[in-house]
Amino acid sequence: MTVGIVMLVHTALERAEQVARHWDKAGCPVVIHVDKKVPRETYDRFVAALADRPDILFSKRYRCEWGTWGLVAATQSACARILDGFPMVRHVYLTSGACLPLRPVQELQDYLAARPQTDFIESATTADVPWTVGGLDEERFIYRFPFAWRRHRFLFDKYTQLQRFLRLKRNVPANLVPHMGSQWWCLTRRTLTAILQDPARKTHDRYFRRVWIPDESYFQTLARLYSNNIESRSLTLSKFDFQGKPHIFYDDHLQLLHRSDCFVARKIWPRANRLYEKFLTQPAGVSGRQEPNPGKIDRVFAKAVQRRVRGRAGLYMQSRYPRNDSKNRVTAAPYSVFQGFSELFENFEPWLAEATGARVHGHLFAPDRAHFANGQTTINGALSDSAVLRDYNPDAFLTNLIWNTRGERQCFQFGPGDNQAINWRIAKDPNAQISVISGAWAVPLYRCKAEFLDLRQRAARLQKIESEHLSVLRSSEVKARVRIWSMADFVEAPMEPLQAILEDIGSETSRRLSEVPRMVDLSGFGQFLQNLKNEGMHPYLMGDFPVEPEEEPAKQAKSPRPYLVR
């Protein structure tokens, strides 16, 4: 008892010959179908080249166009040929010219000999499979498809639309339940004979002749009628890209294919010399490997598809420019925005850098220049600190910065004095973590010794800008992680928010804060706010600061004020 190989070949005939000889050498009879599109002379040469092998036969040639009946007709006649010609054949393995056996043929023979009644054919009902690409799943079975999609795309589309519009549906033959699956199967003689000699074969053939892509459904459906023991999987490893086209294996997939332990893989690039050399010349012995294990290869290719479809988040360039409303993330990595912290704490930036290991910038969107960490004038990716260039396209400045510094957490300060054009972009970015102490912009005003009237005007302007920014941050479209404290609340209990921020950034979460930043001396701040009020300006964003708790807190504030670990 042995396994017979049916090969469907349309190109790269010299590779097909090589593989056919490989099967033949291991004692598997082979029947080859060559596409009718192959010119007569080429075909004759191919036949002549294999004439020395009595167990390699050729079947009647059909014209095989992707998605049409020809492929099934070819398979049928080749299968009939192999069943008639080689009574020793118990399993028939359907392969293509681009298939390559990865394990010694003996192992495949042993594997099938141990499962003499099993049909290996991927077969699932249309409702249950997600793998059809391009929309036609159950419609493949209820409309007619007389036009080839490759050559007559327009007619194909129009005729399908017309049938949809007129609701012309075909009847599926009564005993059939449409199933689909990979067209590379391995069936037992019993099942295959039953399919080919079915008294109703004419009806079946007539129905499937107008089904779309019948090679993925003909045997898959009929096997369900006759087989007692279907293993719904293909023994052939084949991967599909996002458009449903088969992935091609090259020389660099050698290790991956080797470790997959699959029996056969497709599609192999005809000029992948190393692959053919390695797998067709390996020793015939048995290596003791058991089940195919394509897990690793699945992961690699799933990743490739993911990369092709989703791309790399946060990358904007000449050849890839995601739209704002796409599912993609806006930026490449999480980052943190701090508003009001460097105003309220004297040494916030160095402290944060110390505590988290992140790169902590100053006000990146300041009017004079982008204040990069450590006073740098350019940063990764030759991003310049020029305010002109930054304001020319602030979105791009931010996305480039985050992209260029991937792998290192970025934090920066923001405030109502900065360019506000970026607000929506940040607010809608799921990667952004925004922490705001509202009203903290008043602290530098309070500490600077300027004309009070001037201060009052600046305070009014800053408060207006910040309150607009806060309404952005509170809108329902925000996707960023936003935390807002009023300054009064924050000053009351700064430890908890700081701890939470550090946990967000995610370094050394378990440790309690050992050192906290130094808060500026706020004695007299209440009075300063009262003065603003007296001038007719109403500062409200910072919450309530009592005017005259003078004595008590003032003293406290004088002792430099690191909060102690509690």
- In the complex, the residues that contact another protein under the rule CB under 8 A are 242, 248, 269, 271, 307-311, 315-323, 326-328, 378, 381-384, 386, 388-389, 392-393, 396, 400
Instruction: Compute CA 446 distance to the chain's CA centroid, rounded to the nearest angstrom.
Output: 51
Closer CB to another protein, 324 or 457, in the complex: 324
Cβ atoms of residues 187 and 51 within 8 Å: no
Q: How far is the CB of 252 from another protein (least distance, A)?
A: 13
CA trace torsion 150, 151, 155, 161 (10° rounding): 0
Torsional sign, CA 547, 444, 552, 485: positive
Closer CB to another protein, 424 or 563, in the complex: 424
Closer CB to another protein, 228 or 243, in the complex: 243
Cβ atoms of residues 68 and 148 within 8 Å: yes
Rounded to 5 degrees, φ, ψ at 556 are: -55, -40
User: How many CB atoms sit inside 10 A of residue 545's CB?
Assistant: 20
Q: How far is the CB of 444 from another protein (least distance, A)?
A: 29
What amino acid occupies position 270? P
Q: How far is the CB of 524 from another protein (least distance, A)?
A: 43
Closer CB to another protein, 226 or 240, in the complex: 240
Which secondary structure element, helix H or strand E, spans residue 31, and what is its range? strand 30-34
Closer CB to another protein, 186 or 313, in the complex: 313
Cβ atoms of residues 261 and 292 within 8 Å: yes
Helix (H, G, I), strand (E, B) or coil at 540: coil
Closer CB to another protein, 281 or 318, in the complex: 318
User: How many CB atoms sit inside 10 A of residue 186's CB?
Assistant: 28
Cβ atoms of residues 337 and 432 within 8 Å: yes
User: What are the angstrom distances between the C-alpha of 211 and each of 54, 140, 550?
Assistant: 37, 6, 88
Q: How far is the CB of 480 from another protein (least distance, A)?
A: 21
Q: How far is the CB of 312 from another protein (least distance, A)?
A: 9
Cβ atoms of residues 6 and 77 within 8 Å: no
Long-range contacts of 20-26 (CB under 8 A, 24+ apart): 20/50, 20/53, 20/56, 21/50, 21/53, 21/56, 22/101, 22/105, 22/280, 23/101, 23/105, 24/53, 24/55, 24/56, 26/104, 26/105, 26/106, 26/109, 26/284
Closer CB to another protein, 197 or 326, in the complex: 326
User: How many CB atoms sit inside 10 A of residue 25's CB?
Assistant: 12
Q: How far is the CB of 330 from another protein (least distance, A)?
A: 13
- In total, the chain counts a number of residues equal to 566
Q: How far is the CB of 303 from another protein (least distance, A)?
A: 12
Q: How far is the CB of 368 from another protein (least distance, A)?
A: 15
Q: How far is the CB of 329 from another protein (least distance, A)?
A: 11
Q: How far is the CB of 311 from another protein (least distance, A)?
A: 4
Q: Whose CA is closest to 473, among 462, 459, 484?
A: 484
245: left (phi over 0), alpha (psi -120 to 50) or beta: beta
Closer CB to another protein, 74 or 383, in the complex: 383
User: What are the angstrom distances between the C-alpha of 505 and each of 97, 140, 335, 362, 363?
Assistant: 54, 51, 8, 17, 19
Q: Whose CA is closest to 537, among 417, 416, 455, 451?
A: 455
Cβ atoms of residues 405 and 379 within 8 Å: yes
Q: How far is the CB of 324 from another protein (least distance, A)?
A: 9
Closer CB to another protein, 90 or 329, in the complex: 329
Closer CB to another protein, 18 or 393, in the complex: 393
Q: How far is the CB of 278 from another protein (least distance, A)?
A: 19
Closer CB to another protein, 167 or 327, in the complex: 327
